[in-house]
Amino acid sequence: MMLDMFSLKGRTAIVTGGSRGIGKMIARGFLEAGAARVYITSRKPSQCDETAAELGPNCISLPQDLSTLEGIKSFVDRYLEHEDKLDILVNNAGAAWGAAFDEFPESGWDKVLNLNLKSPFFLTQALHGALKKAGTHERPAKVINIASIDGIRLNPQETYSYHASKAGLIYLTRRMAATLIADHIAVTAIAPGAFASEMNRVARDQGEEVAKRIPSRRIGKDEDMACAAIYLASAAGDYVVGDTIAVDGGVALAMAGGL
């Protein structure tokens, strides 16, 4: 009975940036948890199609650049050609930019904030009706924002816009949650630590060295991310509203002096 609480049987999900990295981990986990259909996005159509083919017939590729309002509208219109409601939205698509303080360009702010902060808000806004249609008092629809522990603590790298975007997303999660729970939509966030991915090449290429700086003494595994997302997306996480879960092996807590 308790294990059934973690099932996603019959649920429909969107995972933005789902063709690789953390998004792919989550998409695969949702399918293994029984999701009926998982729609994934990517700015690169071939990569999106390849991942959907790899994950199976219940994974549907809808490639789209979600960094603009026009792109968001196009994606939502295409999604609504397939479905009339949405149980789970994972706002995962993201970008990073690093440069020295005196050289950091405006384009490094625009690119990162457009995708990391504005896109989760406006995509959720555009899908509000579909989420509202799916949610009930007993079984709310879910929005899961993928933040970062860089929104909780400082990273020594000079990724100014990335830090700001992820800190903003954590607070935006709380603000959206306070509004949308009235429509039976529970908004939460995950703040990943070191996971091997194209965006976190240091963890990917120097995992053993990175692990030495993590209290758990390892980098994150695919199932660590998938299981956290399944918890929040499933009935097991229905009573969690507005919170951000750090999935980082204890890094953020250690930086705060808790470990």
The DSSP output letter for 122 is: H
Q: Is 162 a catalytic residue?
A: yes
Quick one: pLDDT band at residue 218, thresholds 50, 70, 90? Answer: confident
Distances (CA, A) of 57 to 15, 37, 118: 16, 8, 31
Distances (CA, A) of 171 to 55, 106, 152: 33, 23, 11
With beta carbons less than 8 A apart as the criterion, state whether 193 and 149 touch: yes
pLDDT, tens only, 105-155? 999 999 999 999 999 999 999 999 999 999 999 999 999 999 999 999 888
pLDDT, tens only, 14-65? 999 999 999 999 999 999 999 999 999 999 999 999 999 999 999 999 999 9
Q: Does pLDDT of 201 surpass 80?
A: no
Given 162, 171, 231, 239, the catalytic residue: 162
CATH number for the domain running over 3-255: 3.40.50.720
Residue 206, pLDDT score: 57
pLDDT, tens only, 144-190? 999 999 999 888 889 999 999 999 999 999 999 999 999 999 999 99
Q: Where are the domains of the chain?
A: 3-255
